[in-house]
Amino acid sequence: MALSSDVVPPSTPTEVLRKIRKKGDVTIEFALWQPQNPNGQCAIALHGFSRPLEDMLGIRPLLPNGVSLLMPHLAAHGRSSGHHRPMDTAVWTAALEDIVKEEGLHFNGMLMGYSLGGRLALSWFSLAPQRFTKVILLAPDGLVKNPGYRFSVDTALGRAWLNQSERQREAMVRFMTWLRSRRILPEHFYQFSLFHLNSQEMWAMVIDCWCSLRKFWPPGRRRLVAISKAHPGILEAHFGERDKVIKPTNAKGLKGVCTVKFHPCGHGLLRPDIIERIASPS
């Protein structure tokens, strides 16, 4: 079911409340979950694109006993700030750690990221690997850049087009529908793209998010291999065998970097049965 980041899922526990903190020019909306007997330690979980932060409550079976969970909204999601300029990675990650401290907790070095959040988690790990004890990537983005993204975000011409592309949004939908009708465009890619283009609000969110997180890309595989060898046993990754959003072939980017496991699902790695598989591997 489609659910925007502005909507709190009905199943959210009543004690999990959204809050806002402003750090310099960065505003972060977040929520904190705490177990019945918290031990003062806190992990961090990063959600997927266009999803509410409460999605990450699903990863609680992966937490050690007594550990709390901080779930921030990513850039341009909910009430977290988004910009037409790249955010500074060091400023954003420092803001998250400050929030943990202000909540009276200690970051235990456990970081989990799903989809887009997986890209950010891998990027953060690569910048400060000594800061982490366990990093779990669930269907992580950030291992492959498609040509459209490269042009739109990584080139000056592409960014100029992106910042005024709202004018062409309806034309893009018509063009993609034409491609789909002639079986040039795969159905799953068409539906995925249509979801992001179908409203002015969603497309504006895409632009703000892409521009804000322009610097949040992990290094190439060779650099990741070197980092993981210097800090072994921290990183692990999980992919869905039938995932059409983050294809399982993307896992090639982690060859020699970390343990990679595949699961009988599509992009739904936050499903309770899949999380249970990850928490209790056979």
pLDDT tens series, the chain, 282 aa: 455 788 899 999 999 999 999 988 899 999 999 999 999 999 999 999 999 999 999 999 999 999 999 999 999 999 999 877 899 999 999 999 999 999 999 999 999 999 999 999 999 999 999 999 999 999 999 999 888 888 989 999 998 888 888 888 888 889 989 989 998 888 877 887 887 787 888 888 889 999 999 999 999 999 999 999 999 999 999 999 999 999 999 999 999 999 999 999 999 999 999 999 999 976
Query: Which of 178, 195, 211 finishes a domain?
Result: 211
One-letter amino acid identity for 177?
T
Considering the domain architecture, whether residues 131 and 237 belong to the same structural domain is answered as yes
Considering the domain architecture, whether residues 140 and 165 belong to the same structural domain is answered as no
Collapsing DSSP to helix, strand or coil, 236 comes out as: strand
Residue 204's domain comprises 147-211
For helices 89-102 and 116-127, give the axis angle rounded to 10 degrees.
90
What is the model's pTM?
0.92
Considering the domain architecture, whether residues 136 and 176 belong to the same structural domain is answered as no
What CATH code is carried by the domain that includes residue 61?
A: 3.40.50.1820
- Inside any domain, residue 7: no
Considering the domain architecture, whether residues 47 and 140 belong to the same structural domain is answered as yes
State how far the Cα of 41 lies from the Cα of 108, in Å rounded to an integer.
6
Number of domains in the chain: 2
Considering the domain architecture, whether residues 96 and 165 belong to the same structural domain is answered as no
- Inside any domain, residue 258: yes
Q: What is the dihedral of CA 84, 85, 89, 94, to 10 degrees?
A: -70
Q: Is residue 264 exposed (0-12), middle (13-18) or buried (19+ Cβ within 10 Å)?
A: exposed
Q: Please name the helix (run of DSSP H) or strand (run of DSSP E) that holds residue 31, with its range, or none.
A: strand 26-33
Considering the domain architecture, whether residues 223 and 116 belong to the same structural domain is answered as yes
Residue 1, pLDDT score: 40
Tokens of 165: 């592309």
- Inside any domain, residue 242: yes
Query: Which of 211, 239, 263 finishes a domain?
Result: 211
Considering the domain architecture, whether residues 264 and 129 belong to the same structural domain is answered as yes
Q: Which of 84, 108, 97 has its CA nearest to residue 159?
A: 84
Considering the domain architecture, whether residues 71 and 92 belong to the same structural domain is answered as yes
